[in-house]
């Protein structure tokens, strides 16, 4: 049925656009702004995840060893830890290496270090994990092993990180949902108005013997187009803004990892356009169901 | 073709528009529904195309009891009934041609069918030369003809017209009446609600006379 008369539906929908140009313009602009905001949240969320993945590779547990540990004990320990689930890599840092690192990192205090007799730094094992959320459990499991002086990991930072990203993530979702509901209402409202504007056409069609769906389709297509056009404009704008911002950020913080791969951003575009179409359809559906009876 | 059994219509404001109506209008008949304003003529027509449902009684159209018709079947009832409204219900921002085409499109006619039918009915009512005009540029009689053309474009079994000569001069009214006779001769059942005394007297057709919701006369060859 829809395909048979699609030309007519589209023509009537576009006729309605032409006649109420200003109202449709306002509606589409609102949808555009909403989708830009939602898109920004989506991009921030994606980038935080991307950043986390990058940071995760740097998170590690440092195990300080007792000075009297034997070579066999050390090897056993190293193998044991390496075989644990979630552990990616174990590196041994000898006392000497630790001291050299210290010297290298704090060259300006070289004099002070030279006064110190012997090497006070402990040897250590540096453990890289596969997943930052498992650091704590892995560290807890290692603590009880023999030959270990102390286990250190960056608990505070991780907790803060999850707190901040979690807040941004859920806050973004909540605001996005509110805005999307608002956009449904915007489209539903304009559909209600156009149903009123076209009440003569609707009455005539109904009295001529048009089915209810036949009468409804032009309005549904109208809503669909509003959502779709709004989303597409938002997408084009977001694309421009995003790469502009990414450029600026990378100039001032060059090592900050951001998503620049266009393929990785494709799902964002698809989601925005799909949700736009869906919302347009839904919004008009609500009004059409309520105001076009019999 | 049209039967009513003990039909009452009481509007929500408790006005009794029709009371115990029993009629039988056969296929191909030409019937005048007469009576003073407020007698219930328009209400009678609305019952036939299910613009309203009777408060009591049965309305049967072509063997189907439409009092209990499910809403989704109403469009198919209406495709068999052409209606000429008292207030025309034309689309004034569309041309003569588009007004008729719109009505046909509404019931899913193809573009090919539409072109053929619109041409045919415009010829029949004599508006072929005005097909590109907007309705507000037409005279009252021409607008009435356009309404008739739109109503019969789908070749319905029944044609209902509400006060078709209401605001027209006698000559134009008679022209419209001739047109309706012509359509009737081709087999369409026609019901005309009218209080145009001159017209009804000239036509010498069946008259159903309503007064305050009651049928007070049903005369096969009456005068007003
Ligand atoms: N929709 C309506 N609601 C309430 N009362 C109505 C409605 N339509 C008609 N009436 C009343 O019903 C009576 C019959 O009206 P109508 O059928 O229009 O008469 P006619 O067409 O013969 O002038 C009148 O008293 C009118 O006021
Ligand atoms: Mg009337």
State the complex-level ipTM: 0.92
B165 shares a domain with B72: yes
B164 shares a domain with B75: yes
| Of the partner residues A200, A205, A207, the one whose CB lies closest to the CB of residue B83 | A207
A212 touches chain B (CB under 8 A): yes
Q: Residues of A with CB below 8 A from B77's CB?
A: 209
B177 shares a domain with B72: yes
Phi, psi torsion values for A154, nearest 5 degrees = -85, 75
Which pLDDT belongs to residue B76?
95
The string of DSSP codes covering chain B is -EEEEEEEEE-TT--EEEEEEEEEE-TT-EEEEE-STTSSHHHHHHHHTTSS--SEEEEEETTEEGGG--GGGHHHHHTTEEEE-TT----TTS-HHHHHHHHHHTTT--HHHHHHHHHHHHHHHT-GGGTTS-GGGS-HHHHHHHHHHHHHTT--SEEEEESTTTT--HHHHHHHHHHHHHHHHTT-EEEEEE--HHHHHHH--EEEEEETTEEEEEETT---
B67 shares a domain with B129: no
Could you tell me if B184 and B161 are in contact, meaning their C-beta atoms sit under 8 angstroms apart?
no
B1 shares a domain with B50: yes
| Of the partner residues B71, B89, B108, the one whose CB lies closest to the CB of residue A294 | B71
- Out of B155, B175, B191, a domain closes at B155
Interaxial angle between packed helices A262-291 and A21-56, expressed in degrees from 0 to 180 and rounded to the nearest 10: 140
B165 shares a domain with B70: yes
Please state the domain count of chain B. 2
Could you tell me if A277 and A224 are in contact, meaning their C-beta atoms sit under 8 angstroms apart?
yes
Best residue among B7, B12, B15, B41 to mutate for probing ligand 1, ranked by most atoms within 8 Å of CB: B15
B103 shares a domain with B64: no
Question: How remote is the CA of residue B202 from the centroid of ligand 2, in Å?
Answer: 21
Verify whether ligand 1 is closer than 6 Å to residue B194 (CB atom).
Answer: no
Domain, as residue range, for B136 = 88-155
Best residue among B9, B10, B17 to mutate for probing ligand 1, ranked by most atoms within 8 Å of CB: B17
pLDDT, tens digit, for every residue of A182-219?
A: 999 999 999 999 999 999 999 999 999 999 999 999 99
A105 touches chain B (CB under 8 A): no
Q: Which residues surround ligand 2, an ion (CB under 5 A)?
A: B 42
Give strand pairing partners of A151.
Answer: A63
Verify whether ligand 1 is closer than 6 Å to residue B43 (CB atom).
Answer: yes
Minimal C-alpha gap between A22 and chain B (Å): 19
| pTM for this prediction | 0.80
Q: Which residues of B touch A (CB under 8 A)?
A: 49, 51, 71-72, 74-79, 83, 85, 89, 91, 102-103, 105-108, 154
Question: How remote is the CA of residue B173 from the centroid of ligand 1, in Å?
Answer: 24
Domains and CATH numbers, chain A: 6-55+160-291 (no CATH), 60-153 (3.30.70.3040)
Question: How remote is the CA of residue B37 from the centroid of ligand 2, in Å?
Answer: 7
Torsion angle (degrees, nearest 10) of CA A266, A269, A272, A273 = -110
Phi, psi torsion values for B190, nearest 5 degrees = -125, 130
A214 touches chain B (CB under 8 A): yes
Minimal C-alpha gap between B75 and chain A (Å): 4
Which of B61, B73, B83, B105 to probe the A interface (max A CBs under 10 A)? B105
Tens of each residue's pLDDT in chain B, 224 residues:
999 999 999 999 999 999 999 999 999 999 999 999 999 999 999 999 999 999 999 999 999 999 889 999 999 999 999 999 999 999 999 999 999 999 999 998 999 999 999 999 999 999 999 999 999 999 999 999 999 999 999 999 999 999 998 888 989 999 999 999 999 999 999 999 998 888 888 888 999 999 999 999 998 887 77
B9 shares a domain with B46: yes
For A127, the token pair is 């453990």
Whole-number Å distance between alpha carbons of B176 and A117? 123
B169 shares a domain with B65: yes
Could you tell me if A273 and A231 are in contact, meaning their C-beta atoms sit under 8 angstroms apart?
yes
Which pLDDT belongs to residue B118?
97
Report the nearest atom of ligand 1 relative to the CA of B195. 22
B132 shares a domain with B75: no
Verify whether ligand 1 is closer than 6 Å to residue B21 (CB atom).
Answer: no
Verify whether ligand 1 is closer than 6 Å to residue B39 (CB atom).
Answer: yes
- Out of B102, B136, B155, a domain closes at B155
B5 shares a domain with B72: yes
Whole-number Å distance between alpha carbons of A135 and A145? 16
Q: Look at A201 and B154 and tell me if their CB atoms are within 8 Å.
A: no
Q: Residue B26: give its domain's CATH number.
A: 3.40.50.300
Nearest to A247 by CA among A258, A237, A238: A258
Residue nearest to atom 25 of ligand 1 (CA): B38
- Out of B155, B170, B194, a domain closes at B155
Minimal C-alpha gap between A193 and chain B (Å): 18
Residue with tokens 């359809």: A281
Q: Look at A294 and B74 and tell me if their CB atoms are within 8 Å.
A: yes
Q: Look at A209 and B91 and tell me if their CB atoms are within 8 Å.
A: no
Rg (CA), chain B: 17
Which pLDDT belongs to residue A56?
66
Beta strand spans in chain A (E): 60-65, 87-93, 124-129, 148-153
Enumerate residue ranges in chain A where pLDDT < 50: none
Which pLDDT belongs to residue A57?
63
B97 shares a domain with B37: no
Ligand at minimal distance from the CA of B37 is: 1
**Collapsed DSSP state (helix, strand, coil) of residue A88:** strand
Q: Residues of B with CB below 8 A from A211's CB?
A: 72, 75
């Amino acid at each position: 049925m829809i395909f048979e008369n699609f030309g007519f539906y589209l023509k009537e929908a576009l006729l309605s656009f032409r006649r109420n140009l200003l109202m449709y313009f306002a509606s589409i602009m609102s949808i555009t702004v909403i989708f830009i905001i939602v898109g920004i949240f989506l991009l921030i969320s994606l980038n935080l995840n991307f950043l986390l993945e990058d940071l995760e590779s740097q998170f590690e547990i440092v195990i300080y060893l007792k000075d009297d540990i034997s070579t066999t004990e050390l090897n056993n320990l190293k193998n044991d830890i390496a075989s644990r689930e979630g552990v990616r890599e174990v590196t041994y840092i000898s006392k000497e290496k630790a001291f050299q690192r210290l010297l290298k990192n704090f060259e300006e205090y070289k004099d002070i270090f030279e006064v110190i007799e012997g090497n006070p730094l402990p040897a250590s094992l540096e453990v890289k994990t596969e997943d930052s959320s498992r650091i704590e459990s892995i560290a807890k499991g290692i603590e009880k092993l023999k030959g270990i002086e102390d286990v250190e990991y960056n608990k505070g930072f991780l907790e803060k990180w999850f707190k901040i990203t979690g807040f941004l993530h859920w806050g973004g979702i909540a605001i996005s949902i509110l805005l999307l509901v608002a956009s449904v209402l915007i489209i539903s409202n304009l559909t209600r108005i156009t149903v009123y504007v076209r009440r003569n056409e609707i009455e005539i069609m109904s009295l001529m013997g048009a089915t209810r769906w036949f009468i409804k389709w032009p309005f549904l297509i109208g809503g669909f187009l509003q959502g779709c056009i709004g989303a597409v404009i938002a997408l084009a704008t977001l694309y421009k803004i995003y790469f502009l911002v990414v450029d600026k950020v990378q100039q001032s913080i060059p090592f900050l990892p951001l998503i620049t791969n266009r393929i990785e951003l494709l799902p964002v575009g698809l989601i925005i356009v799909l949700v736009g179409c869906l919302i347009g359809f839904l919004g008009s559906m609500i009004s059409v169901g309520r105001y076009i009876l019999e | 073709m049209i039967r009513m059994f003990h039909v009452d219509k009481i509007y929500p404001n408790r006005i009794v528009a029709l009371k115990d109506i029993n009629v039988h209008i056969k296929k191909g008949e030409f019937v005048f529904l007469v009576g003073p304003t407020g007698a219930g003529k328009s209400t009678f027509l609305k019952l036939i195309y299910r613009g309203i449902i009777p408060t009591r009684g049965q309305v049967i159209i072509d063997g189907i009891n439409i009092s209990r018709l499910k809403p989704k079947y109403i469009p198919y009832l209406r495709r068999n009934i052409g209606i000429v409204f008292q207030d025309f219900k034309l689309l004034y921002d569309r041309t003569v041609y588009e007004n008729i085409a719109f009505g046909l499109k509404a019931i899913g006619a193809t573009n090919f069918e539409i072109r053929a039918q619109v041409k045919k009915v415009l010829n029949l009512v004599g508006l072929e030369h005005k097909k590109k005009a907007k309705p507000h540029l037409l005279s009252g009689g021409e607008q009435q003809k356009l309404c008739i053309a739109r109503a019969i474009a789908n070749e319905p079994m029944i044609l209902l017209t509400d006060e078709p000569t209401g605001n027209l001069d006698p000559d134009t009214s008679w022209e419209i009446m001739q047109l309706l006779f012509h359509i009737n001769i081709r087999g369409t059942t026609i019901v005309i609600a009218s209080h145009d005394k001159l017209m009804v007297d000239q036509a010498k057709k069946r008259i159903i006379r309503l007064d305050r919701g009651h049928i007070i006369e049903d005369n096969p060859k009456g005068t007003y």
